[in-house]
Amino acid sequence: MIEIQCQGCGKHFLVEVHSDRIKRIIFKEPDLKEQIKTKEVSYGDPPFHEDCDSGLTMTAIPLKVIEFWEYDWEKFEWKRNKEFEIDVTP
């Protein structure tokens, strides 16, 4: 989960992001850990919100990773990794 900001009005949102295996393989997109380390996390347009026409068409500004979870394939469970819960403002 990351915190993003609307470029138009400055409103903050908590949103989900994930690493897409297909995009990593086909489009050579870096995994989410690498995006966080290099502060290149991208969300796209912010969620719909009232009274902000222009911000809905602009890419949101990533601010901070609030929670980072990864799957442990040996134990078959999700584990939180706070190492990646950092500021990602470009």
Residue 9's region, left for phi above 0, alpha for psi from -120 to 50, else beta, is alpha
Residues 2-30, mean pLDDT to the nearest whole number: 90
Distance CA 59, CA 25 (A): 24
Share of the chain above pLDDT 90, in %: 72
Residues 17-30, mean pLDDT to the nearest whole number: 84
Residues 6-18, mean pLDDT to the nearest whole number: 95
User: Is 9 part of any domain?
Assistant: yes
User: Is 89 part of any domain?
Assistant: no
Domain span holding position 30: 2-84
In the chain, how many domains are there? 1
Asked whether residue 62 carries a pLDDT value surpassing 90, the answer given is: yes
Asked whether residue 79 carries a pLDDT value surpassing 90, the answer given is: yes
The whole-number pLDDT of residue 46 equals 94
